[in-house]
Amino acid sequence: MIVTRFAPSPTGFLHLGHALSAFNAWQRARQGGGRFLVRLEDIDPGRCRPEYADAIQQDLAWLGLDWDGPVRVQSQHLPEYQAVLDGLVEQGLAYPCFCTRAAIAREVAASAAAPHGPDGAPLYPGTCRCLSPTERADRIGAGERFALRLDMAAAVRPGLTYEEEGEGPVACHPERFGDIVLARNDAPASYHLCVTHDDTVQGVTLVSRAVDLKPATDLHRLLQALMGWPTPVYAHHRLLTDAAGRRLAKRDNAATLRSLRAEGVSARSIIERFG
Ligand code: GLU
């Protein structure tokens, strides 16, 4: 049975781009006699707001996109993500990183040719990767704050692929991202970890989302391989742009479903654009 999902982060109001993601996933489930799930990815307490979580559900209902079962709220499942993190640490695939952002920036600036990841940001230089078990334990014991990072060199698996609908198998190169953060001291688990975990426990078979998340799928595929989780099929859709050709973002008020509704735009006319 086909199972799709829409997994927004409640960091702002939904805009047309979200509506396209939600509609695609909803339509595929409804056409295939499957299930359409909604999940709130509210793992980052600094950026998420309960009022946006409510607004998301209201906006989906206004669009006429009904979902199956209760909404999964990630912040209610922290022990599940912690168990995955513990498993990765036990396997020697994740390590505590005590570096502050400023320390990383200094280190990167001091190195002649710091490698950069797919998003253009410099890769973590690996400062804490080689700390001894005693030093790690001492610093944690002393109350020093730390993030958990994936040891990419130890974790990477050759030959990983995933199926992109309409394109076929896509070769994964997660090593481009370096030692990604899996948990921060102020956010209990990263997007990559939670999204991959939840697509598994919710039995998602088709992940339909915008193409800006396509590069990150390499990381999701790697985490699936490390944890022995199944791999859904992926269908990344185009990004919507405004009249000037710029991609829509949450900060663009004009494109939010709320402001369109206030201007008298109907839900039907929005859905018809996607048809
Ligand atoms: N929560 C992510 C976002 O709002 C999307 C997650 C996904 O579809 O994989 O950007």
Show pLDDT as tens, one digit a residue, over the chain (275 residues): 999 999 999 999 999 999 999 999 999 999 999 999 999 999 998 999 999 999 999 999 999 999 999 999 999 999 999 999 999 999 999 999 999 988 888 888 888 778 888 888 889 999 999 999 999 999 999 999 999 999 999 999 999 999 999 999 999 999 999 999 999 988 889 999 999 999 999 999 999 999 999 999 999 999 999 999 999 999 999 988 777 777 776 666 668 999 999 999 999 999 998 87
| Final residue in a domain of this structure, among 178, 197, 216 | 197
Residues 33 and 89 in one domain: no
User: Residue 220 burial (CB < 10 Å; 0-12/13-18/19+)?
Assistant: buried
Looking up residue 109, the CATH number of its domain turns out to be 3.90.800.10
Q: What distance in Å separates the CA atoms of residue 153 and residue 257, rounded to the nearest whole number?
A: 43
Phi, psi of 79 (to 5 degrees): -60, -30
Q: Could you tell me how many helices (H) and strands (E) the chain has, helices first?
A: 10, 10
Name the amino acid, one letter, at 190.
Answer: S
Q: Which atom of ligand 1 is nearest to the CA of 9?
A: 4
Residue to substitute in 75, 192, 195 for testing ligand 1 pocket (most ligand atoms within 8 angstroms of CB): 195
Nearest CA to ligand 1 atom 6: 7
In a domain, 4, yes or no: yes
- Of residues 236, 179, 191, the one with CA closest to residue 47: 191
In a domain, 236, yes or no: no
Are 1 and 30 spatial neighbours (Cβ–Cβ below 8 Å)?
no
CA angle 121, 170, 89 (to 5 degrees): 55
0.85 cut: is pTM over it? yes
Q: What distance in Å separates the CA atoms of residue 236 and residue 233, rounded to the nearest whole number?
A: 10
| Final residue in a domain of this structure, among 143, 170, 197 | 197
Domain count, the chain: 2
Ligand 1 centroid – CA 111 distance (Å): 33
Phi, psi of 29 (to 5 degrees): -65, -45
Residues 144 and 89 in one domain: yes
Residues 71 and 100 in one domain: no
Looking up residue 48, the CATH number of its domain turns out to be 3.40.50.620
Would you call 214 a catalytic residue per the annotation? no
In a domain, 210, yes or no: no
Q: Which atom of ligand 1 is nearest to the CA of 199?
A: 9
> Which residues form ligand 1's pocket by a CB distance below 6 Å?
7-9, 41, 195, 209, 213
What is the residue range of 71's domain? 1-76+241-275
